[in-house]
Structure 1
Amino acid sequence: MNTDVFYLALSQLILSIVLSIVIFFISYKILIRIFRLKEADINDSNLAFSILFSGIIFSTGYLLSGIIPSIIGAIEMLQAHAKENLFVEILKYSSLSLFVGFLLAGIIHFSGFMLTKSLTKHVNEVGELRKNNLAVAILLATILISITIIARDSLVFLIELFLPQPTVIEYTS
């Protein structure tokens, strides 16, 4: 076994786990702030917020999981052509890709929420979530997850534009 490849894979795994935990922590804190909740409000007496938050966190994870193979490809390419500290380059491209993915996930979630608000003008979604209306929570989470599934490939394509790509020389005869 090549020890360089092993350490690269191990560092990539650790980096992915750490960045994922940080992104999910930030997502949770942002959601608490957006809905003006106290962390004590997220308990077994209000499943609606838990369902919606779970849908948003799943959606974010699903989007970001599509980015990981692109980052791995960029890391492998960097490893083949690295002249300087590989760890710094890996950290730079991984962080940039996941940050842009996180921002786009937020835009997708906001758009999905606004779409739902426009479709259900007679319903105060946040008020219904506070009342523990599970139907509203399931509807919102399903719409967000569905939009995420549809938009994932386009997001991955966009993120790949930020990652280093090998140059291909075309010879014509």
Structure 2
Amino acid sequence: MELFYLALIQIIISIVLSIVIFFISYKILIKIFKLEESEFNNDNLALSIFFSGIIFSIGYLLSGIIPSIINAIQLIKIHSEGNLFVEVLKYSSMCLFVGFLAISILQISSFLLVKTMTKHIKEVEQLKQNNLAVSILLVSILISITLISADSLIFLLETFLPQPEFIQYN
């Protein structure tokens, strides 16, 4: 029965963390691009494609981060000598902060890469003018960089994972 509760907690953590991070990311993106939510309508497919790519990128990276948090919960449960809740909260918060920071840096650097590659194009203005070509280019680069760097991000986060102590016999 203990495995059932652990699985249930993992599902709840995954859903809650995903919703919170998607919400925060969406609000930050709206402010960065100086958009109004009314601009997302049938007349501007380019913005929808671009934001969908960003949301996919975040979701893909979160799909690697959340299992690291769940693994930490299992290891902390086995090896914790203090308050289990505090230890889990401490690791989860740190992991999410580092992950969110890394995801933000990844997406900003992807966008800056595109701006460097296409100096003659004003990307934000083109997205607002429904330029599908620019939107597809931005999303393709973002998703490619996300796929390439996802394993490195997961490895970075797993270095923070509490490791069990081993006894060496000589």
Structure 1 residue aligned with 2:86? 88
Distance across 2 between alignment mates of 1:90 and 1:56: 29
1:4-62 Cα deviation digits (max 9, x unpaired): 22212211211111111000000000010000011111111111111111111110111
Moved more, 123-132 or 160-169: 160-169
In structure 2, how many angstroms separate the alpha carbons of the residues matched to 1:53 and 1:167?
44
Q: Which residue does the alignment assign to 2:126?
A: 128
The number of residues matched between the two structures is 170
Helix, strand or coil: the match of 1:139? helix
1:78 positional shift = 1.2
Quick one: which of 4, 8, 17 aligns to 1:6? Answer: 4
Q: Kindly tell me: are residues 91 and 68 of structure 1, through their superposed partners in 2, closer, same or farther at Cα, counting changes over 3 Å?
A: same
List runs of 5+ in structure 2 lacking aligned partners: none
Task: Look up the match of 1:42.
Answer: 40
RMSD: 1.4
Partner of 2:62: 64
Map of 1:101 onto structure 2: 99
TM-score, with normalisation over the residues of structure 1?
Answer: 0.92
Aligned partners of 1:34 and 1:42: how far apart in 2?
Answer: 15
User: How many percent of aligned residue pairs carry the same amino acid?
Assistant: 65
Matches of 2:6 and 2:159 in 1, distance apart? 23
- Residues 85-141 of structure 1 show CA distances to partners (whole Å, capped at 9, x for unaligned) of 433332332232122111111100110101001111111101100100011111101
Give the match for residue 54 of structure 1. Answer: 52
Pick the aligned partner of 1:116 from 114, 117, 131: 114
Q: Which letter maps to 1:41?
A: E
CA distance in 2, matches of 1:118, 1:149: 21
Instruction: Give the TM-score, by structure 2 length.
Output: 0.93
Q: Which range moves more in the overlay, 158-167 or 83-92? A: 83-92
4+ long deviations beyond 4 Å: none
**Contact 1:64–1:98 (8 Å) recurs in 2:** no
Distance in structure 2 (CA, Å) of the matches to 1:35 and 1:13: 33
